[in-house]
């Protein structure tokens, strides 16, 4: 089976046990579709059976010596160790870990195979935390059924799981708690007792964005939100951002102008055009759609509307992505790499018995860039 090579030594391999796509991150990728070839090796790999034959002992004796069992004569132990050195045998570390009842690996359950700058930073942060603790790291990129999640927990593939895309009432959280399987969350439920998480304070972030736009003089501020069905299913960021926006608008005496859209450029552009058709006096947009907010820029450009002279734009987005926009995008900074790293750190601390339950909810940071300005009193003819 060929593996697709990505940046930072990432290889996609399908898991036959749980029927999910798994990405395994290590420093070396054994083969790829980009022309990279695996390193040349000898045609015969030394096994413990080879060691046993050369040392005139049983395979079980070699196994006991490799696992530092005490019930082996010292003369036999030295003879086997000499043969191991002569043949250049290296024990399979993963197999040894499984024999000890642990995989020394963690998995990030991220049910969205579409990569973006923000998603990449979540992944790389968690992978770095694993690497720093000498753990292997797996990324599972399809939403598992109950059967598949149970199979993953039984598979010995991973010692613990980082959950993402959390709903207020999330069956995966209930299942893992019931099973006693170690996990942490990027995101949070309605009830987070006994569960470590790190999450964005979406309500406060939305409030900061709207309040700043109001200070600049804006009164018609729209929210490009998640679709209605996502909100109704209780997806945490969708619920908290929309509710926070509606509450802030009510407190400030503003009309709440909602534009639900899926996180694709086509749908976000369509939602932007619909907003401007229905609200030709709109002067500012807050987007929950991260990198995809580029579609808002293109829709405004198609209508000969300038950013920020005609319409100001703010988004929840990573610093790195925001700075790629022209003009650079004002943002509620989403430190996705740090979120991934902290989640990995909390999980590994839990696995090592040194971690207390942590609820991390950093204060959002509004970063002002050139995509926002005071509103104009009028627009160019024909732009609405």
Does residue 314 have a pLDDT over 80? yes
Using one digit for the tens of pLDDT, what is the confidence trace for 205-263? 999 999 999 999 999 999 999 999 999 999 999 999 999 999 999 999 999 999 999 98
Instruction: Of 248, 250, 238, 259, give the one whose Cα is nearest residue 187.
Output: 238
pLDDT confidence band for 69 (50 / 70 / 90)? confident
Beta strand segments in 254-339, E: 257-260, 284-287, 312-317, 330-333
Candidates 223, 222, 243; CA nearest to 231 is 243
User: Could you tell me whether strands 5-6 and 10-14 are parallel, antiparallel, or unpaired per DSSP bridges?
Assistant: antiparallel
Residue 59, pLDDT score: 80
Three-class SS state of 64: helix
Mean predicted confidence (pLDDT) in 354-363: 91
pLDDT, residue 60, reads: 80
Highest mean pLDDT among 145-149, 260-264, 304-308: 304-308
Which 8-state DSSP code applies to residue 68? T
pTM of the model: 0.75
Residue 70: partners with Cβ closer than 8 Å, 6 or more residues away: none
The string of pLDDT tens digits covering residues 258-281 is: 999 998 999 999 999 999 999 999
Residue 109, phi then psi, degrees to nearest 5: -90, 100
Three-state DSSP state, 145:
coil
Confidence of residue 125 (pLDDT cuts 50, 70, 90): very high
Runs of H (alpha helix) within 56-165: 59-66, 74-87, 93-99, 117-132, 146-154
What's the rounded Cα separation, in Å, for the pair 352 and 370? 46
**How many angstroms separate the Cα of 189 from the Cα of each of 90, 186, 227, 247, 363?**
45, 10, 19, 20, 18
pLDDT band at 65; cut points 50, 70, 90: confident
> What are the structural domains of the chain?
48-88 (no CATH), 202-335 (3.40.50.2300)
- Beta-carbon contacts of 191 under 8 Å, excluding residues fewer than 6 positions away, are none
The per-residue pLDDT for 17 is: 35
How confident is the model at residue 112, as a pLDDT? 67
Cβ 236 vs Cβ 167: under 8 Å: yes
Q: What percent of the chain has pLDDT over 70?
A: 82
């Amino acid at each position: 089976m060929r593996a697709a090579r990505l940046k930072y030594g990432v290889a996609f391999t399908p898991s036959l046990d749980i029927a999910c796509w798994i990405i395994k991150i290590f420093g070396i990728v054994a083969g790829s579709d980009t022309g990279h070839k695996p390193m040349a090796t000898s045609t015969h790999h030394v096994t413990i059976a080879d060691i046993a034959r050369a040392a005139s002992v049983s395979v079980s004796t070699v196994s006991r010596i490799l696992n530092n069992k005490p019930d082996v004569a010292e003369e036999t132990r030295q003879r086997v160790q000499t043969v191991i050195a002569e043949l250049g045998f290296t024990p399979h570390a993963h197999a040894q870990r499984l024999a000890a009842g642990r995989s020394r690996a963690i998995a990030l359950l991220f049910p969205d195979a579409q990569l973006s700058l923000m998603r990449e930073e979540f992944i790389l942060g968690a992978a770095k935390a694993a690497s720093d603790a000498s753990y292997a790291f797996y990324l599972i990129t399809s939403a598992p059924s109950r059967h598949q999640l149970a199979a993953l927990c039984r598979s010995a593939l991973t010692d613990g799981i980082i959950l993402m895309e959390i709903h207020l009432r999330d069956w995966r959280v209930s299942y893992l708690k019931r099973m006693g399987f170690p996990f942490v969350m990027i995101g949070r439920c309605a009830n987070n007792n006994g569960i470590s998480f790190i999450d964005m304070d979406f309500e406060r972030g939305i409030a900061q964005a709207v309040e700043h736009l109001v200070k600049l003089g804006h009164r018609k501020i729209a929210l490009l939100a998640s679709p209605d069905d996502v909100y109704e299913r209780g997806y945490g960021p969708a619920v908290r951002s929309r509710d926070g926006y509606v509450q802030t608008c009510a407190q400030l005496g503003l009309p709440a102008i909602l534009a639900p859209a899926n996180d694709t450029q086509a749908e976000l552009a369509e939602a932007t055009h619909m907003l401007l058709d229905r609200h030709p006096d709109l002067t500012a947009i807050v987007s929950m759609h991260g990198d995809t907010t580029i579609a808002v820029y293109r829709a405004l450009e198609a209508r000969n509307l300038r950013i920020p002279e005609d319409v100001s734009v703010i988004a929840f987005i990573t610093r790195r992505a925001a700075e790629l926009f022209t003009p650079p995008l004002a943002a509620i900074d989403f430190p996705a790499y740090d979120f991934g790293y902290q989640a990995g750190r909390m999980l590994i601390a839990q696995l090592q018995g040194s971690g207390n339950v942590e609820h991390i909810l950093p204060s959002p940071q509004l970063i002002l860039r050139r995509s926002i300005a005071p509103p104009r009193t009028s627009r160019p003819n024909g732009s609405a």
